Amino acid sequence: MTDQSQIRIKAFADKIMSAEAAAEFIPAGSNVGMSGFTGSGYPKAVPGAMVARARDARAAGESYAVSVWTGASTAPELDGAMAEVDGVHLRMPYQSDPISRSKINAGLMEYTDIHLSHVAQMVWEGFFGHMDVAVVEVAGITEEGELIPSTSVGNNKTWIDQADKVILEVNSAQPLGLEGMHDIYYGTALPPNRKPLLISKVADRVGVPYLHVAPEKVIAVVETNNPDRNTPFKEPDADSEKIAGHVLEFLTHEVDRGRLPATLLPIQSGVGNIANAVLMGLDKGPFRPLTSYTEVIQDGMLQMLHSGTVSMASATAFSLSEAGLADLIENIDFFRERIILRPQEISNHPEVIRRLGCLAMNGMLEADMYGNVNSTHLMGSSMMNGIGGSGDFARNAYISMFLSPSTAKGGKISCIVPMASHVDHTEHDTHVIVTEQGLADLRGLPPRRRAQQIIDHCAHPDYRPALQDYLDRATATAKGKHTPHILGEALSWHERFLKDGTMQPV
Amino acid sequence: MTDQSQIRIKAFADKIMSAEAAAEFIPAGSNVGMSGFTGSGYPKAVPGAMVARARDARAAGESYAVSVWTGASTAPELDGAMAEVDGVHLRMPYQSDPISRSKINAGLMEYTDIHLSHVAQMVWEGFFGHMDVAVVEVAGITEEGELIPSTSVGNNKTWIDQADKVILEVNSAQPLGLEGMHDIYYGTALPPNRKPLLISKVADRVGVPYLHVAPEKVIAVVETNNPDRNTPFKEPDADSEKIAGHVLEFLTHEVDRGRLPATLLPIQSGVGNIANAVLMGLDKGPFRPLTSYTEVIQDGMLQMLHSGTVSMASATAFSLSEAGLADLIENIDFFRERIILRPQEISNHPEVIRRLGCLAMNGMLEADMYGNVNSTHLMGSSMMNGIGGSGDFARNAYISMFLSPSTAKGGKISCIVPMASHVDHTEHDTHVIVTEQGLADLRGLPPRRRAQQIIDHCAHPDYRPALQDYLDRATATAKGKHTPHILGEALSWHERFLKDGTMQPV
């Protein structure tokens, strides 16, 4: 039973139905816009009913599949379950699900990997085809029929605007205290009618706390009472702490040189344990009060808001552990004054990121000697997750940092390679690379000097001599010595891993 | 003799001196900011005097070299002459000079290749070190000591602001009728003090027509009377006309589908003969009145302003043929009402490009099957020119198009390859690829479907079977089938060219 306060508008009462009944409104072949971003605010019930439809179809020798467009990653009961029954024809713009990943890499599921700031406008521009149905989780519906957004905003505003039909999931497990935390900007337009986006400080609000929906588009309201997928919080390991230490030392140095103010600039940090370690390091550090203009609020950010290290944080979604979620719910009034959740086209907007001068810290799979960064593809061909918002921030940041341990798979993979097997961030967009070994400051350096910095400061000692040897031989033999490569050998480390299971010579 | 009207302020009269005397103010090892963008508005005299210093130093067994930071490319008497005497320690952010190129690729000259929109802010942020001297060509100096900018703006505003000392070249060969054409924005700031950039239409002016200089910083004024380097205009060849035809057909299709307004959106086109062919095609086409928010005004744009096809054009520089320059001078009053020249951080600003929704058309060296674009490096190692502004526009465009003939070197190079040997624009930023063979619309497509479009529509028939064979075998054998590659073969086309002088099997 949903508490009356979750659905306050009487007009929607006769649209309440089961997830199964709602799923009947979604024909095979539809383009379906779903809510959900880093495991927050995704629909909890309708996807399961679609999975059942797909199973029934299969049992009848037929098929049931749709295209699924979201904010970003969702949860096993959406991405995992739908992929397992081959219920997803095309997925975009981001996923991080193991079953989806295996289907994508088996060539059985189409996946379009897009900058998260580009998705809403490109759908609106009609570049991906028409959206048939939106399935959006909300925390509640007001007396006036306004939608109280859930724990992520993502592309929900655009999905609700663009879809012919809207299915709402009202999740009574989400705190109603979220009401007022969001800032949904309704000023976007297609050119030639676009206007400046008047966010000049992290705390600036330019929208309204609600999602608007035309009541006649709402074809179903489904009541749920399910928590978001939790993201377990791990205490930082030794490598993460070392990476965080190098970042803090660098920021201190920049402040000392007068190249950064003592309150730094708005922090953006990617998702994961390295990012959490950096946040924890900043929390102990001398810089405050900080602000954050980022994509996702993790546990570390809640802690920094509690301690007063961060005064204001803007994002598009939460990604919390069970304890973090409990903290959010318990202290929702405190956090509502210090957190703004925006649509992802705004949280990741190039205009705002450049204006604010974000300090961007994102993870990576590998970087090459020259500073080209691979965020998406293992050994050049296999999709890991996707580019997400890393490019939105890196390209427009004041300082663009990429962080990773120097090795993976117990040392069998070097994350610093002669040539990246896929490039998501070019040499032009990479300012700083950090591993547990150290930090390479690449700003203003030509390629061979970048390579020497990366080899000396970032590569693991087990791989450093081979990298130096490659650089030396390439410099001696390449026809062009601006960015020297030995083309027949440039990708040989990746080939060796595919063949022998290690990049180390065996 | 400079006409009195070129230097109207008496206070600067006693600073007039020879180029040789002015060059004495520039010590070896200086960071020197010079004007100049696509062969327009570069200093004509002081670089020659610096070359003489370098020759004298060499004769005395010493050396004289400086770092040269410009807007973009200059001319043989600057980049060529200074590179020839090893007078350039580090060059940034763009060059296109044959002698510079050969020094860079011989490993004898350092070169940092940067997005043109990033340069001014990164210098101001202190990321490249301190600027010692600025050498800036102007068209004149007013009674109040305001500088009338020349035929390019580039980074001049930032150089004059940042340098300790300023040397002005007043070129009486530049038309004084340029006065009033420029829009120099003085509202830039470092974060956290940046404000929205209030350009919402191509015609919006947000600055002043003059460059400001603190009089006490002006250490020398040098009078010159030399024309800019001319860029010969070639009638479009058959391939350029075919490329232009495909672009026009595509734009017509987009208008018909309602995805573009009938007056299109602001056109950005790169420099060169393909770009000119597209402009000539648009001039004959049905779309008008158009606008252009671009980097460089070429002959084709002057023609479109004459014909009324384009009502307003914004750029940072001219790049004209001798006839184009004569047209500009003769009709300067007409063009001053229809052309705005801005600093390159504004002409290429991500905020404005995204807001206006530019239609970006840039050349490329090669693209791979999956849509990764190489704009800078021949065979992975040798620098051609640089990324210039292509990334500024491609990344933020409404539609990002890359144009090239399908082959180069008489068919010995395929511009469509299995894997790009260098990546300047990633798969995430490439919407459309066009060759004389046809057009591939990649929007929303996952990688293997992109590959099929590019092979079918863009590759030259001589290379199409080998590309299809690579894609088929990679799809059959790669462990990851999202972006299938055969790593040992991915760069073999480039290796073959380096070894045999052709990508064709011999």
Q: Which two tokens stand for residue B393?
A: 């526009």
pLDDT in tens, A459-493: 999 999 999 999 999 999 999 999 999 999 999 99
For residues A388, A390, A396, A399, the Cα torsion angle rounded to the nearest 10 degrees is: 170
Q: Which two tokens stand for residue B32?
A: 């020197």
Whether residue B498 lies within 8 A of chain A, CB to CB, comes out as yes
ipTM: 0.97
Q: Are A364 and A417 in contact (CB under 8 A)?
A: no
Amino acid symbol at A113: D
Q: Under DSSP, is residue B75 helix (H, G, I), strand (E, B) or coil?
A: coil
Q: Under DSSP, is residue B293 helix (H, G, I), strand (E, B) or coil?
A: strand
Q: Under DSSP, is residue B291 helix (H, G, I), strand (E, B) or coil?
A: strand
Inter-chain contact B428–A391, Cβ cutoff 8 Å?
yes
Cα distances from A44 to residues A3, A9, A325, B177, in angstroms, run 18, 22, 17, 67
Inter-chain contact A192–B498, Cβ cutoff 8 Å?
no
Residues of chain A whose pLDDT is less than 70?
A: 1-4
- Written as one string, the DSSP assignment of B416-444 is EESS-SS-SB-GGG--EEEETTEEEE-TT
Q: Round the average pLDDT of chain B to a whole number and report it.
A: 96
Amino acid symbol at B10: K
- How high is the pLDDT of residue B4? 53
- How high is the pLDDT of residue B2? 46
If you count DSSP H runs as helices and E runs as strands, how many of each does chain B have, helices first? Answer: 17, 25
Inter-chain contact B261–A107, Cβ cutoff 8 Å?
no
Q: Are strands A317-318 and A296-297 parallel, antiparallel or unpaired?
A: parallel
B91-113: b (≥16 Cβ within 10 Å) or e: bbbbbbbebbbebbbeeebbbbb
Whether residue A198 lies within 8 A of chain B, CB to CB, comes out as yes
| Secondary structure E strands in B112-215 | 133-141, 147-149, 165-171
Residue recorded with tokens 């190692």:
B381
Whether residue A103 lies within 8 A of chain B, CB to CB, comes out as no
Query: Looking at chain B from residue 380 to 419, which residues have their Cβ under 8 Å from any Cβ of chain A?
Result: 380-383, 387, 391, 395-396, 398, 419
Band of pLDDT at residue B9, cut at 50, 70 and 90: confident
pLDDT above 50 for B202: yes
Q: How big is the A-B interface in CB pairs under 8 Å?
A: 241
- φ, ψ (nearest 5 deg) of residue B392: -60, -45
How buried is residue B33: exposed, middle or buried, by Cβ count under 10 Å (0-12/13-18/19+)?
Answer: buried
Whether residue A206 lies within 8 A of chain B, CB to CB, comes out as no
Distance from CA of A483 to the nearest CA of B (A): 5
Q: Under DSSP, is residue A177 helix (H, G, I), strand (E, B) or coil?
A: helix
> Nearest 5 degrees, angle CA B66-CA B70-CA B76?
80
Distance from CA of A281 to the nearest CA of B (A): 23
Inter-chain contact A257–B448, Cβ cutoff 8 Å?
no
Q: Which two tokens stand for residue B254?
A: 């987009």
Cis amide prior to B505 (ω within 30 degrees): no
End-to-end CA distance of chain B: 62
Q: Which two tokens stand for residue A372?
A: 């080209």
The number of residues in chain A equals: 506
Whether residue A379 lies within 8 A of chain B, CB to CB, comes out as yes
CA distance B12 to B15: 5
Segment B73-97 shows an average pLDDT of 97
pLDDT above 70 for B186: yes
pLDDT in tens, A110-156: 999 999 999 999 999 999 999 999 999 999 999 999 999 999 999 99
pLDDT above 90 for B118: yes
Q: Are strands A399-403 and B416-417 parallel, antiparallel or unpaired?
A: unpaired
- Which of A84, A295, A366, A436 is the catalytic position? A295
CA distance A378 to B22: 56
- How high is the pLDDT of residue A4? 53
Whether residue A284 lies within 8 A of chain B, CB to CB, comes out as no
Which helix (H) or strand (E) covers residue B495, if one does?
helix B492-500
Segment B38-60 shows an average pLDDT of 97
Inter-chain contact A350–B257, Cβ cutoff 8 Å?
no
Segment B198-207 shows an average pLDDT of 98
Q: Which residues contact B186 (CB under 8 A, 6 or more apart)?
A: B157, B207, B208, B212
Inter-chain contact A398–B197, Cβ cutoff 8 Å?
no
Q: Which two tokens stand for residue A39?
A: 């495991």
Q: Which residues contact B330 (CB under 8 A, 6 or more apart)?
A: none
> 3-state SS of A237-290?
CHHHHHHHHHHHHHHHHHHHCCCCCCCCCCEEECCCHHHHHHHHHHHHCCCCCE
Strand partners, B223: B170
Q: Are B490 and A380 in contact (CB under 8 A)?
A: yes
CA distance B306 to B300: 10
pLDDT above 70 for B187: yes
Q: Which residues contact B237 (CB under 8 A, 6 or more apart)?
A: B273
> Nearest 5 degrees, angle CA B280-CA B153-CA B190?
120
Cis amide prior to A98 (ω within 30 degrees): no
Q: Which of A278, A422, A284 is nearest to A362 (CA)?
A: A278
Whether residue A219 lies within 8 A of chain B, CB to CB, comes out as no
Q: Which residues contact B65 (CB under 8 A, 6 or more apart)?
A: B28, B29, B54, B86, B87, B88, B89
Inter-chain contact A443–B194, Cβ cutoff 8 Å?
no
Cα distances from B354 to residues A350, A352, B362, in angstroms, run 8, 12, 16
How buried is residue B213: exposed, middle or buried, by Cβ count under 10 Å (0-12/13-18/19+)?
Answer: buried
Inter-chain contact A444–B105, Cβ cutoff 8 Å?
no
Whether residue B483 lies within 8 A of chain A, CB to CB, comes out as yes
Give me the sign of the Cα torsion angle B200, B204, B208, B209. positive
Inter-chain contact A190–B428, Cβ cutoff 8 Å?
no
Nearest to A424 among B92, B387, B426 (CB): B426
Cα distances from A252 to residues A269, A282, B209, in angstroms, run 18, 11, 40
CA distance A67 to B222: 66
Residue recorded with tokens 């919080």:
A233
> Nearest 5 degrees, angle CA A46-CA A47-CA A49?
65
pTM over 0.95: yes
Query: Looking at chain B from residue 432 to 471, which residues have their Cβ under 8 Å from any Cβ of chain A?
Result: 443-446, 448-449
Q: Which residues contact B318 (CB under 8 A, 6 or more apart)?
A: B38, B40, B151, B152, B228, B296, B297, B298, B324, B325, B328, B341
- How high is the pLDDT of residue A162? 98
Catalytic status, residue A295: yes
- Which of B223, B295, B345, B427 is the catalytic position? B295
Q: Under DSSP, is residue A130 helix (H, G, I), strand (E, B) or coil?
A: coil
Inter-chain contact B261–A192, Cβ cutoff 8 Å?
yes
| Radius of gyration of chain B, Cα coordinates, nearest whole angstrom | 23
Nearest to A475 among B107, B114, B191 (CB): B107
Amino acid symbol at B21: A
Q: Are B155 and B344 in contact (CB under 8 A)?
A: yes
* Interface with chain B: mutation pick from A195, A375, A482, highest number of B CBs within 10 Å: A482
Nearest to B478 among A381, A424, A428 (CB): A381
Strand partners, B167: B135, B220
Residue recorded with tokens 């966010």:
A199
